[in-house]
Amino acid sequence: MVTVSLEVQILFAGLLFLIGLVGLLVRRNIIFMLMSIEIMLNSAGLVFVIAGSHWAQADGQVMFIFILTVAAAEVSVGLALILQMYHHFKTLDADALNTLRDKNER
Amino acid sequence: MTALDFICLAPFLLLASAPIIIMLTITITRNIKVVYGFSLLMFLLSFISLFIVAPYIPHVIAPLFIIDSYSLLFLAIIIFAGFLITILSYIYISQQGDDKEEYFIILFVAALGASVLVVANHFISFFLGLETLSISLYILVAYIKTRSYSIEAGVKFLVIASVASAFLLFGMGLIYTATGSMNFKGVASALGSLHALSPILLTGFVMLLVGIGFKLALVPFHMWLPDVYQGAPAPVTALIATISKGAVLAIALRFFMDIQGFNNQAIFIALSAIAIISMFTGNLLALNQGNLKRMLAYSSIAHFGYLLITLLAGSTEGIHSAIFYIASYIITTLGAFGIISLLSVCSGNADSIDDYKGLFYKNPFMAIVMSLAMLSLAGIPLTAGFIAKFYLVLAGVKSGLWLLAFSLVINSVISLYYYLRVVTTMFTTSDQVKPSTIPLMGNLVLVVIVIGILFLGILPAWVSDIIASLS
């Protein structure tokens, strides 16, 4: 069996994180932005799994389960907010959310 | 777990049982008065339970929590603020549409998340506390769903805070990879055996710093804060400004002290730069704001820039001054947002500074409380803010942080301009003299806040002795 070194595994997780970050910055559709955030969270979970197997501890996997749970809670709130957003703004374009800003009234 | 563990967890168990019981009461009858009274009772009970826990500290509940005097003080501050925010929220939310009772459920979950944060001793409890707090804040920010700007603020907050969590988590993962421990003390001892930071570890710390920077809204991660402050209902803004930020600072301070982060040159320089930029950016952007909530958001960016001094001082004086600063900042901010939310109830949204024109002639008491809060934020003597800043400068100077202390003093002068502008606006005459009445409980909150600000400002020794004697 071929073993992959720790650095390569971490680099892979880092690449996944970057994909998520770039997706978040490039995409304007709020659902795709939420998906990119999920990718970022899961890449962080992957780091914990890698570290857990590297140190032969269960802690990494335990943390991953917590991350999954929290990400699910976050997405459920996120989707509810997106429904409300569509209700008010009639679009899923994040750029439409621009009513709150500095006005410099004075 | 032993019986002692359960005794020490009493405040948390009380805070956690409150949402369940409220849910059960809602299934029987929807009555906001019952829910409100019960919420006050639960906050009161969990505050009293702190005195039961006090004889047993320091107590470690391995591996996740540590309950010591430091966390107990922060717990007291959080529960006290939660109590006052419950009253403000009731006055505000009872004027809104349907589904008012669930607000208090989420308020308790947010308070629970913040309380877990201040006792966290491990990456898992750090992460869980932070997410419990953040996710309940997303809901609270967008709670009044008929307002499109509240929804906008909620979506913005959700995206930014989730990205911050992802950064934080990735950083934690990298630190775990490099050190093999998720416990703060374990990380510290693993770091002690290393001579230089490996690239993995350094990246981990930078990402952790980015995550905390987002949560505390330090420059350059501050863009979301004014929008969220403006869009959220006023009591929720008070919650974000006080409980949420205070708890995140508490955990950042604990982690930083445990790993002795101030000894690392690179981290020290990065944090100093962030602190100074935050002070200047926050204060300069606040100068020209016409919206009071946005102005307070920028001022809070500056205040958390000041508070970074306590992280860099790396001394017990630093920790003590941080606790005192947080306490006085929370009571002062509650005063300011208390007025905003009480006025929003009387006369629609009271966001713009122009809404405060002639407030002194309509309601002198409110105007005086607001002036006191503004003077305290500016750091004028005889108010809590002055003593807090004094301790902060003292801690900074003792550790030789002259540049930071110096820029704090300069920024205090800059900030005087916009705080005093609010005060002068309230005392100018205006044609539309329409007396506004506030409910009895609202007055009570304001009286408590006035007493708090003046007490901390005139007799600080009493509180600072307590803080000094505990740790």
Give B300-336 pLDDT, tens digit per residue.
999 999 999 999 998 888 999 999 999 999 999 999 9
Q: How is residue B201 annotated by DSSP?
A: H
Confidence of residue B348 (pLDDT cuts 50, 70, 90): low
Residues 17-76 of A with CB under 8 A from B: 17, 20-21, 24, 30, 33-34, 37, 40-41, 43-45, 47-48, 50-51, 54-55, 57, 59-60, 62-63, 66-67, 70, 73-74
Mean predicted confidence (pLDDT) in B374-397: 94
What is the rounded end-to-end Cα distance, in angstroms, of chain A? 69
Contacts of B354 in chain A (CB under 8 A): 105
Q: For chain B, give every domain's residue range.
A: 262-471
Do the Cβ atoms of A73 and B131 come within 8 Å?
yes
Do the Cβ atoms of A82 and B155 come within 8 Å?
yes
- Token pair, residue A68, equals 């999954």
Cα angle, residue B353 at apex, residues B352 and B358 outer, rounded to 5°: 120
Choice between A1 and B30, residue whose per-residue pLDDT is larger: B30
Confidence of residue B196 (pLDDT cuts 50, 70, 90): confident
- pLDDT at position A43 over 50: yes
Mean predicted confidence (pLDDT) in A60-83: 95
Beta strands B65-67 and B59-61: pairing type?
antiparallel
Half-sphere exposure of B452 (CA within 13 A, CB side): 25
Mutation target for B interface from A89, A100, A104: give the one with most B CBs within 10 A: A100
Mean predicted confidence (pLDDT) in B176-194: 91
Do the Cβ atoms of A97 and B152 come within 8 Å?
yes
Nearest to B170 among A43, A66, A77 (CB): A43
- pLDDT at position A104 over 60: no
- pLDDT at position B127 over 80: yes
Cα separation of B165 and A43, whole Å?
12
Cα separation of B407 and B353, whole Å?
27
Give the pLDDT confidence score for residue B89 in this predicted structure.
Answer: 94
Cα separation of B121 and A5, whole Å?
30
Contacts of B160 in chain A (CB under 8 A): none
Confidence of residue A1 (pLDDT cuts 50, 70, 90): low
**Span B200-235, pLDDT tens digits:** 999 999 999 999 999 999 989 999 999 999 999 999
Are B92 and B344 in contact, with CB atoms under 8 Å apart? yes
Question: CB within 8 A of A65, min separation 6: which ones?
Answer: none
Give the pLDDT confidence score for residue B385 in this predicted structure.
Answer: 94
Cα separation of B264 and B212, whole Å?
18
- pLDDT at position A106 over 50: no
- pLDDT at position B276 over 70: yes
Confidence of residue B274 (pLDDT cuts 50, 70, 90): very high
Average pLDDT over chain B, rounded to an integer:
92
pTM of structure: 0.95
Peptide bond into B220 cis (omega under 30): yes
Residue B354 identity (one-letter amino acid): D
CB atoms within 10 A of CB A105: 11
What is the rounded end-to-end Cα distance, in angstroms, of chain B? 26
Do the Cβ atoms of B290 and A103 come within 8 Å?
yes
Do the Cβ atoms of B177 and A10 come within 8 Å?
yes
**Span B19-53, pLDDT tens digits:** 999 999 999 988 899 999 999 999 999 999 999 99
Contacts of B149 in chain A (CB under 8 A): 99-100
Cα separation of B18 and B70, whole Å?
25
Q: Phi and psi of B289, rounded to 5°?
A: -90, 135
Residues 6-25 of A with CB under 8 A from B: 6-7, 10, 13, 17, 20-21, 24
A30-39, B270-279, B425-434: range with lowest mean pLDDT: B425-434
| H helix count then E strand count, chain B | 21, 2
Inter-axis angle of helices B384-398 and B292-313, to 10 degrees?
30
Question: What ipTM describes this predicted complex?
Answer: 0.96
**Span B400-440, pLDDT tens digits:** 999 999 999 999 999 999 999 999 999 988 766 566 678 88
Mean predicted confidence (pLDDT) in B156-169: 96
- pLDDT at position B350 over 80: no
**Span B59-100, pLDDT tens digits:** 999 889 999 999 999 999 999 999 999 999 999 998 887 778
Mutation target for A interface from B131, B140, B176: give the one with most A CBs within 10 A: B176
CA of A1, closest CA in chain B: separation in Å? 23
